[in-house]
Structure 1
Amino acid sequence: MLLDYIPDVDCITKHDLYESYPDFFIQVKKEQELLVDHDLILFQHPLYWYSSPPLLKQWIDLVLELGWAYGEGGRALEGKIWKQIITTGGSETAYTPEGFHKAYLHDFLLPFKRTAELCRMVYEPPFVLYGSYQKGEKELHETGQALASHLQQIIEEGSYGKS
């Protein structure tokens, strides 16, 4: 749903992993080429059991290779921006120490932040739609418009997108 609000501009390439790899056989070199060609990498996904959906996790495991993305000689992603667009089923108050999940959302996102840092990327705070299941059409539309504005501002301020 939020994917529909990502601006259709030349500097953004939309890439649906589940559409591209329904069999989960990821073309690592193709994915690495896409990453090299872009400065702002957006990951739009729901929060699944305090993590990402399985295909995104597999993508991270395979594409972000030692010696390419991190480690000795691994500088392919250095300076690129890592930004997540996340939907949660739980409300914002559920992601507090007193709430249902007993921690803030950013605590659950630490593995993504550390992965970005390990790859010498800049981790930007995520854009989050909390309680997506409880939102009505009007609220979802307003959040989508806020996302579009947010991304447009990022693009204008940093000239991110394709290298």
Structure 2
Amino acid sequence: MKILVCAFHPNIAESRVNKRWLEVVNSDPQITIHEVYSTYSNWSFDLKVEQQLMENHDRIVFQHPFQWYSVPPLMKKWLDDVLDYGWAYGSGGTALVGKQWLCAISTGASAESYQLGGSNGYCIGEFLKPLQQTAILVGMEFLPPFIFHGALQASTKDIDASAEKFHYYIKDSTLSPQIQRIKLLEAMS
């Protein structure tokens, strides 16, 4: 499986979590890292290059900090521009059908704040519904996200541990809910 990590961090040099995640997976030959903010500081994408990158990989990891209950602004623009009608969806738009979409997100707040009754009012999955629906629209399988909560208070030890988990998680071939269902049915028979 070929994995593309599209990293959308507005200031990766100052990041503790997202930068560490990229450092850990950097030497893995199965993984291509694409730092979008540093590649497109002018916010003008080369659509053919971006689309070719996606076509050449099986699993696309959208890695970013959670900002204002959503994605960083360049990621929103990237989704608007790159997931083009006629290529990603609509008439003839089948380039991404069957590929996998995986969110890898760091939040500043605790996990407790992202649940019903928590200070953010909803669980993280509710905030990810627009991304999930985008994946569905373009024919991709939306995999269970990798979430690291509490980045602002996290110790170096916790961040290092999360980076190792991140590396393992994004390569896990059994993340697909369909594969999990089959394994469950096999175990029951």
The worse-fitting range, judged by mean Cα deviation, of 85-94 and 146-155 is 146-155
Tell me which of 116, 128, 147 is aligned to 1:109: 128
For the 8 Å contact 1:85–1:127, the answer to whether it is kept is: yes
Match of 2:110 in 1: 91
Check whether the contact 1:3–1:44 (CA below 8 A) recurs between aligned residues: no
* 1:15 paired to 2:34: yes
Q: Compare relative contact order (CA 8 Å, sep 6+) and give the higher one, 1 or 2.
A: 1
Mark the runs of 5 or more structure 1 residues left unpaired by the alignment: 158-163
Counterpart contact for 1:82–1:123, Cα < 8 Å: yes
The one-letter amino acid of 2:68's match is W
CA distance in 2, matches of 1:71, 1:16: 28
After superposition, the CA RMSD in angstroms is 1.5
What is the letter of the counterpart of residue 170 of structure 2? Answer: L
* TM-score relative to the length of structure 2: 0.79
Please, what TM-score do these two structures have when normalized by structure 1?
A: 0.91
CA offsets, 1:93-134, max 9 Å, x none? 100111011001000000100000000000001101001011
Report the counterpart of residue 151 of structure 2 in structure 1. 132
Deviation at 1:5, TM superposition (A): 2.3
Q: How far apart are 1:23 and its partner, in Å?
A: 0.7
| Count of equivalent residues | 156
In 1: Cα distance, 2:30 partner to 2:137 partner: 25
C-alpha distance in structure 2 between counterparts of 1:25 and 1:8, whole Å: 28
Q: Which amino acid aligns with 1:147?
A: F
Paired AA for residue 97 in structure 1: L
| Native 8 Å contact 1:7 1:148 kept in 2 | no
> 5+ residue gaps in structure 2?
1-18, 177-189
1:77 is matched with 96
**What is the 5 A alignment of 1:22-101?**
22-101=41-120
